[in-house]
Structure 1
Amino acid sequence: MGNRRPTDHRKPFVRIADDLRRDIAAGRYPIGEKLPAVGELAERYGVASMTVGNAMAVLRDEGLITTKQGARSTVIAVPDAQNAEAAPAERSEEFEVLFSQLQEIRGQLRQLGSRLDELDERTRDL
């Protein structure tokens, strides 16, 4: 199961994003490389696919990866050293709560966007 430490109080999606960010910075996933599939990461960390999706959204918002529906995420940039090793303890509890809520909202918006795209496809030929 993932790299969780017993005293790690970060939200699961933050922990996953931090781990992947460090792996990208260390060269385990160079630019152009595909990250593991969402299902594989969900199994590795023992979390839901949505949690992994939220972690991917963090990395996408940081400009490190690009994602396409139905395809694995691709690394497009490497974080600078300071961002790669950002200490989770520097984030306040309030920040973590707000960031978590924001990620949940983003996930819901992605789902709604997918539904709208699907409806658009269905009605296009009418």
Structure 2
Amino acid sequence: MVEKTGRPAYLQIVDELRDQIRSGALPAGTALPSIAQLCERFDVSASVVKSAISVLRTEGTVIGQQGKGVFVREVPAAAAGPEPSGVNAEVLDQLTQMRQSLKELGDRLAALESAVFQEPK
């Protein structure tokens, strides 16, 4: 179940699924639970689950197969190899900084939304 922290529900689902993939609980090649199962597990609508899966697809964590489901993507051998150097390392550093900035902005927005849209007590 998602928590009412001000952070969007679909991002909370993304975080949990990503953690399960990184920990090996959902290994590469494994199908994600169905949309219906995820809806029940997190107590959210199908559109929220679809948004979370869309984020994971965009970042390349999962891949969808029409009529079969959504699967944890295999990590390419190149990604498991040595660290990139030169221009590639610089681009990756910039992307990492951009992701961190976006996360911080998201956290700030969530805090602002929770302050402005407080639930009545």
| TM-score of Structure 1 vs Structure 2, range by shorter chain | 0.5 to 0.7
Match of 1:15 among 9, 12, 15: 12
Over 3 Å counting, the alpha-carbon distance change for 1:5 and 1:73 in structure 2 is: same
Provide the identity percentage: 30
Secondary structure in structure 2 of the residue aligned to 1:92: helix
1:92 deviates by 1.8
8 Å CA contact 2:31, 2:72 repeated in 1: yes
Name the structure 2 match of 1:60. 57
1:68 deviates by 2.8
Match of 1:74 among 71, 76, 88: 71
8 Å CA contact 1:38, 1:72 repeated in 2: no
Deviations 1:65-121 (A, max 9, x none): 00134332100146x9xx9xx98xx43249868xxxxxxxxxxxxxxxxxxxxxxxx
8 Å CA contact 2:63, 2:70 repeated in 1: yes
Secondary structure in structure 1 of the residue aligned to 2:14: helix
Deviations 1:18-42 (A, max 9, x none): 1000000000000001111111001
Gaps of 5+ in 2: 80-95, 111-121
Return the TM-score normalized by structure 1.
0.58
Return the TM-score normalized by structure 2.
0.60
Name the structure 2 match of 1:91. 104
Q: Give the 4+ runs in structure 1 shifted more than 4 A.
A: 93-97
Which of 1 and 2 has greater Rg? 2
8 Å CA contact 1:11, 1:96 repeated in 2: no
1:9 deviates by 2.0
Name the structure 1 match of 2:38. 41
Q: Superposition RMSD on alpha carbons, in Å?
A: 3.1
Gaps of 5+ in 1: 98-126
